[in-house]
Structure 1
Amino acid sequence: MPKNLEKLQSFYESQNMKLKKHINFNLTVPLVLAVIGAAIALPLYSFLSSQSPKQSQNATTVIPTSKPVVNESVTALGRIQPKDKIINLSGSSSFQYARVSKIFIKEGDRVKRGQVIAILDSLVKLQAALQQAKLKAKVAQAELDKIKSGDAKQGEISAQKAQIANIEAQFQGDIATQKAKIARLDAELKNAQTEYSRFEQLYKAGAIAASEIDSKRLNVATLQEQINEEKANLNRILSTSPKQILESKANLEKLKEVRPEDIQVAQIQYEQTKAAIVEAEADLYLAYVYAPVDGTILKIHTFAGESISDKGIVDLAQTKDMYVIAEVYETEVGKLKIGDKATISSSSLAKKLNGKVEKIGLQVGKKEVFNGDKTLDIDARVVEVKIRLNPLDTEEAAKLINLQVEARININP
C-alpha cells in the first residue's frame, strides 16, 4: 500500500471519530450520511489530485476472482457382471454321455465352496470299482505279510517235504529190493555150482556128454554175472539216492528262507493296488459336481435324468461383489484414474447405482456393447474399465446380471 494512501486512511478514520462525537444522533439518517460522504470525498479528491501521472499508472488494484468448479465426466456403455464373471459347471470330460442322477439346488440358491450341486449316474459303477480296488489291496497286503513271516510258500514247502519223504522211502525200498535180488542170485549160484561139481564128476567118469557139463558151467557164469550186475545197481543206488535227498532238503531250506527280493516284489504289488485305490477314488470324486466358489445359482441347464448338454449343468456366479464392465473410448480412457467415482443408470434399474473405478484395462479392443444401431460405431476402439459397485447396490445389481447400462465416470482431479 502507498504511503500517501495510508495517510489518507488515517485522516479518514480521525475525521469519522470527530463526526461521531459532534453529530447529533437525533438527526435523520440521510443528513448523517451526507455529512460523512462530504468529509470523505474532499480529502480523497485532494490525494488523487496530488498523485503524479506515473504513480497513477503504476498503482493497480488487484481484485480476487474465483473460477467456478466444473464437474467433468466420461460416459460409456457397459454391462453388469459378477466377480470373475459367470462360471459354467459341467461334468468331467472323462465321462462321455454322462447323465445327471440327482441335482440338489434350484435357481437363485446361494451355495458354499465345496458344496455338492449334482451327482452323475456313473456313481454306482465307480463305487463298485473303488470297493474292488480296496479288496485287491487287502489281498496284496496279506500276501506281503505272509512273505515277511515266511509262510508265503507253505504249499511249496509241504510239497517239498513230501518229495523228500518219497525219495527216502524209494531209496530204502530200492536197497531192500537189490539186496533181495542179490541174495536170491547167491542162492541160485550156490545150487548151480553144486550141480556143476556133480556133473563134472560124471563127465570125468564118462557118464555124460561134454555139452551137458558146458551147460552147467554156463549157468554158473550167468548167475555170477547177474550177481555182479545187481551189486553194481545197489552201489549206484547207495551213491545217487543220498545226493537226491540232500538236494531236496536244500531246496526245502531255500523255500523256508525269506528272501529280500521276494519281499520287494510283494511290496511293489501292494503299492500298485494302493495306487489303484487312489485312482478309483479320483474317478469317484468326478461323479460329484461341486461348487468351486461361494456364489449364486443363476441358471440350471441340465436336470435329473437328462444328459449333460453343451451348456453344462449350471451357471454360477460370485454375486457378493458386483461390477460394471464399461467400454471407454480409447480417446477418453487417459482421463480416468483408479478410484474415480461412477454413477450407473438404466431404465431397468429402480435407482441409480454407485461405484468406483477399480481397474483400467491395458488392451484396446473392439466395442461389444452397442446402443441402437451397431453400424454406427462398429469400428470404435475401446478399453474395458472395471467399476466396483458399492455394497449397498450389490443386491440390486445381482438381480440383473448382463444388463446393459450407462456408466458416467467423474474425472475431477
Structure 2
Amino acid sequence: MDYFHLRVYRNREISWRAFSSTDSIASKPGIVYHAKNWPMRSPRRFPMRCPRPIPFHPRRFGQLATPLGLVIALLGLFLGGYATWQLQSLKPATAPSGSPAASGAAPSTSTSASAESASVPSQGIFALAKLEPEGGILQIGGLPGDRILEIMVQPGQEVRENQPLIRLASYEVADAELALLDAQKQRGEDLRRIIQDSAQAQDAEAQAKIAQARASGKIDLQLADKKIQLLEGQTASAQDLLARLQQSGQSRLEIEKQDSLLKQLQSELESARISRQHAVEAAERSERLAELQRTSARKNVDRLLMEIPAPLPEAVRLATLRRRNGEINAPIAGKILSLSARRGELVGQFPLMQLADTKRMIAIAEVYETSKAELEQWLKQGGVRAELESALIREMVPEKKLTGTVQRVGSMIGRNQLMPLDPVQDADRRIFEVRVLLDQPDLASRMIHHQATIRLLPKQAEPAAR
C-alpha cells in the first residue's frame, strides 16, 4: 500500500498527516490540503505535528513599511526646511512700511532728527491707510424677531435726519393699537359730554326746585303773616269790646258771647302762628331736599364719569413707543452705503444697513512706532500734510492722488490692523494711528474702506522726487 504525505492548513496551524491511497481525501471548509507525491513505507516514521513555520504575508510587510515611511517623511521635511532657509537667506532684506528704513530717516532723538531734516530734505513717512467717513459708519438694525414689512430706501441714496428707512410688522400692530386707543378715547369723550349735559340739566332742574321752594315758602310766610296780623287786630278789638261791655254793665249773655268770640280769635291766632312756623319748616325742608337731590345728581354724574372706559396714558405711551420702534428712521443725514435687508425677512442680530455722513472723509494711517517722535516734531513746527496713492486712486482721481492734513496723532501703540499686499513685508508691526482730514471728500466717499499707501510730509518741506 502506498502512503502520501499531506500538509494540512487549518486555523493557521500546520500539521503532518499520513494518508493511504485508499483513504478518501475530501476538502472541507477551512482546511486546505497540500500533498507531496512521494511514496511512504510507513506513516509512523513521520510526526503528526511539526513546529509552525513563518510564511510570507502582506500584513507583516505593512508592519515593516510604516516605520520606514516615517523615516522617509522626516528626512523630506528636514531637506525642505533647509532649502527654504537657504532661499530666504539669499533674498535682500526689506524694511517694513513706515519704518525708518522705508521712510529714509534713521531712528534718532528729536534733536538729531531736526538737524537732519534741516540739512537733508525728508522723503516723508510711508504707511498704510484706510479711507473712512469722519463720523464713522453707523450700523442700522432693529428689534430681533420682528419681520421686515417695507424698505423705503435704496443703496447709495441720500437721506435726511429722521427719514423713515425700514418699516417693520410691529409698526402696523402698534398703529392698530393706537387707533383702538384713540377710538376708546373718542367714545369716552362722547359719553362724558352726554353725561355732563345731562348733569347740567339735572342741576338746572334742582336749582329750579330750590328756587320754587324758596318762592313758595316766602309766599306762604307772607300769607301767614297777614293772617296773623289780621287775627291780632281782631283779637285786640275783641278784648277792647269785652272790657267796655264789662265796664258798662251789659248783660251777662252779651259778655259771655263776646268772651267766647275773643277766645275763638285767640285760638285762631295761635293756630295761624303755628301754621306760619310749619310753613317756615316746610320751606326749609323743601330747600334742603332740593339741595340733597342736586348733590346726589352731582355724585351720580361723577360716578358715571369715573366708569367711562378711558385709555390709560401709560398704554398710549407704550403703543407710541412700539410704533416708533416698528419704524427705523435715519439717526443722521447721510448716505446709504449698503443694504442687506430683504422684504419679509426676520430681523436678527446683524445690521440691516450701513449709513454714514460722507461730507467729511478721513484717512486712518497706521504709522510705524519709530516715526512717532519725528511726526510729533513736524506737527509742532507747522503741521503735516498727507498724500495717498494707489492704483484705484490713480484711476479715479484726476490729480492721481488724494491730499489731506493730519488732524490728530494717536497716543496708543498697538498691533496693526491693515495687512500689506506684499508677502515679503512683516505682517505683525507695532503702530500708532494718525487721522488725516482729506481735501477731496466727494472722491474719497466713492472708495470707503479702500486701502492705500500714505506719505506724510512736513508742510514747510517741498515734496522730493520719488
- Output the TM-score relative to the length of structure 2: 0.46
Which residue in 1 is equivalent to 2:391?
347
Give the whole-Å Cα distance in 1 for the aligned partners of 2:324 and 2:159. 19
1:276 counterpart = 2:315: yes
* 1:143-154 aligned within 5 A: 151=199
Contact 1:103 1:117 in 2 (8 A): yes
Which residue in 2 is equivalent to 1:307?
346
Name the SS of the counterpart of 1:371 in structure 2.
coil
* 1:328-343 aligned within 5 A: 328-334=367-373, 335-336=375-376, 337=379, 339-343=383-387
Which residue in 1 is equivalent to 2:433?
384
CA deviations 1:13-55 (Å, max 9, x no partner) are xxxxxxxxxxxxxxxxxxxxxxxxxxxxxxxxxxxxxxxxxxx
**Cα deviation, residue 277, structure 1:** 2.2
Which residue in 2 is equivalent to 1:319?
358
1:255 counterpart = 2:296: yes
1:410 counterpart = 2:457: yes
Q: Give the one of 438, 442, 453 matched to 1:395.
A: 442
**Cα deviation, residue 101, structure 1:** 1.4
Unpaired runs of at least 5, structure 2? 1-117, 203-288, 461-466
Give the whole-Å Cα distance in 2 for the aligned partners of 1:259 and 1:359. 74
Give the whole-Å Cα distance in 1 for the aligned partners of 2:413 and 2:452. 20
The residue type equivalent to 1:403 in the other structure is H
- CA change 1:78–1:134 in 2 (3 A) is same
Give the whole-Å Cα distance in 1 for the aligned partners of 2:305 and 2:404. 66
Contact 2:383 2:459 in 1 (8 A): no
Give the whole-Å Cα distance in 2 for the aligned partners of 1:318 and 1:97. 29
The residue type equivalent to 1:347 in the other structure is A
* 1:219-230 aligned within 5 A: none
Contact 1:72 1:412 in 2 (8 A): no
Which residue in 1 is equivalent to 2:329?
290
- CA change 1:144–1:348 in 2 (3 A) is same
**Cα deviation, residue 255, structure 1:** 2.8
Give the whole-Å Cα distance in 2 for the aligned partners of 1:124 and 1:374. 58
- CA change 1:408–1:142 in 2 (3 A) is same
Name the SS of the counterpart of 2:177 in structure 1.
helix
- CA change 1:295–1:339 in 2 (3 A) is farther
- Output the TM-score relative to the length of structure 1: 0.52
Give the whole-Å Cα distance in 2 for the aligned partners of 1:88 and 1:143. 49
The residue type equivalent to 1:120 in the other structure is L
Give the whole-Å Cα distance in 2 for the aligned partners of 1:249 and 1:291. 64
Contact 1:342 1:387 in 2 (8 A): yes
The residue type equivalent to 1:345 in the other structure is E
Which residue in 2 is equivalent to 1:371?
420
1:118 counterpart = 2:162: no
Name the SS of the counterpart of 1:385 in structure 2.
strand
Name the SS of the counterpart of 1:348 in structure 2.
helix
- CA change 1:254–1:406 in 2 (3 A) is same
Contact 2:146 2:346 in 1 (8 A): yes
- CA change 1:307–1:76 in 2 (3 A) is same
Contact 2:148 2:342 in 1 (8 A): yes
Give the whole-Å Cα distance in 1 for the aligned partners of 2:307 and 2:408. 60
Which residue in 1 is equivalent to 2:133?
82
1:70 counterpart = 2:121: yes
Contact 1:137 1:274 in 2 (8 A): no
Contact 1:150 1:256 in 2 (8 A): no
Which residue in 1 is equivalent to 2:85?
none
**Cα deviation, residue 382, structure 1:** 1.9
CA RMSD across the alignment: 3.8
The residue type equivalent to 1:86 in the other structure is I
The residue type equivalent to 1:322 in the other structure is M
Which residue in 1 is equivalent to 2:182?
134
Contact 2:199 2:298 in 1 (8 A): no
Give the whole-Å Cα distance in 1 for the aligned partners of 2:346 and 2:153. 17
* 1:70-219 aligned within 5 A: 70-91=121-142, 93=143, 96-141=144-189, 151=199
Give the whole-Å Cα distance in 2 for the aligned partners of 1:150 and 1:364. 80
Name the SS of the counterpart of 2:312 in structure 1.
helix
Give the whole-Å Cα distance in 1 for the aligned partners of 2:293 and 2:368. 91
Give the whole-Å Cα distance in 2 for the aligned partners of 1:332 and 1:264. 79
The residue type equivalent to 2:184 in the other structure is K
Contact 1:341 1:410 in 2 (8 A): yes
- CA change 1:263–1:70 in 2 (3 A) is farther
Give the whole-Å Cα distance in 1 for the aligned partners of 2:417 and 2:193. 68
Give the whole-Å Cα distance in 2 for the aligned partners of 1:309 and 1:255. 60
CA deviations 1:160-214 (Å, max 9, x no partner) are xxxxxxxxxxxxxxxxxxxxxxxxxxxxxxxxxxxxxxxxxxxxxxxxxxxxxxx
Bigger shift: residues 123-132 or 369-378: 369-378
Contact 1:75 1:409 in 2 (8 A): yes
Contact 2:365 2:454 in 1 (8 A): yes
Greater relative CO, 1 or 2 (CA 8 Å, sep 6+): 1
**Cα deviation, residue 109, structure 1:** 1.5
**Cα deviation, residue 371, structure 1:** 0.8
The residue type equivalent to 2:173 in the other structure is K
The residue type equivalent to 2:406 in the other structure is V
